[in-house]
A and B are shown apart, each in its own frame.
Chain A
Amino acid sequence: QKEVEQDPGPLSVPEGAIVSLNCTYSNSAFQYFMWYRQYSRKGPELLMYTYSSGNKEDGRFTAQVDKSSKYISLFIRDSQPSDSATYLCAKPPNSGYALNFGKGTSLLVTP
């Protein structure tokens, strides 16, 4: 079983919709997770950290962790065409710095 599982999509929504992106994880020695965003032909960029207690909000983006079900979520409000990208969730490894990534969910926001 992969350490982080993510539905690859693709997910297509109209502009202005609320988007929900989800991951599950198998175990984590750390109490935080990350969301990366990757545009076509670019490397991933860090979007948000999220800690295992409560939600974290950053503008139109909200990240949430449910420790009991080992579920990580990213919500995008008022989605824009510029949000069209692949979103990857990640968790720290038990040792070292290389992250464990989900496969990524491809999101398309149509005008």
Chain B
Amino acid sequence: KAGVTQTPRYLIKTRGQQVTLSCSPISGHRSVSWYQQTPGQGLQFLFEYFSETQRNKGNFPGRFSGRQFSNSRSEMNVSTLELGDSALYLCASNSGTGVHEQYFGPGTRLTVT
């Protein structure tokens, strides 16, 4: 079974721009969660989608948004980028059948200059 894939793997943007990151979960998985990872804050939860509905949201500003498509693929968008948005963005999928085991993708490394 193919793992979680994320594109692009690396991205460099300038302040004020917007960015869209993509995640394809493991086939059959219905839950997708997004995390931001920085050296200072560790893994911080952004949001979780299940069957195209946002089920939970972390404590991030409205510039961070996401969506999930009918095939469970998910995208997250960050508008008006700030230097502090530089981070590794990780996507994780879960079967959605009750167990909490999450499978992570390799992440997208975003650098904002």
A interface residue numbers (CB < 8 A to B): 8, 30, 34, 36, 41-46, 49, 88, 92-93, 95-104
Main secondary structure of the interface of B (DSSP, over half): strand
Chain A residues closer than 8 Å to B43, beta-carbon distance: 44, 88, 101, 103-104
Chain A residues closer than 8 Å to B35, beta-carbon distance: 98, 101
Known contacts A43-B4, A43-B107: A99-B102 contact under CB 8 Å: yes
Give A84 Cβ to nearest chain B Cβ, in Å.
17
B interface residue numbers (CB < 8 A to A): 4, 31, 33, 35, 41-43, 45, 47-48, 50, 55-56, 58, 90, 92, 94, 96, 100-107
Give A3 Cβ to nearest chain B Cβ, in Å.
10
Q: Please, how many angstroms separate the alpha-carbon atoms of A46 and B43 in the complex?
A: 15
Give A109 Cβ to nearest chain B Cβ, in Å.
21
Q: Please, how many angstroms separate the alpha-carbon atoms of A44 and B103 in the complex?
A: 8
Chain A residues closer than 8 Å to B96, beta-carbon distance: 97
Judge whether A34 and B90 touch: CB under 8 Å: no
Judge whether A96 and B55 touch: CB under 8 Å: yes
Given contacts A8-B42, A46-B102, A98-B56, 12 further A-B contacts (CB under 8 A): A30-B100, A42-B106, A42-B107, A49-B101, A88-B42, A93-B100, A96-B50, A97-B94, A97-B100, A99-B45, A102-B42, A104-B42
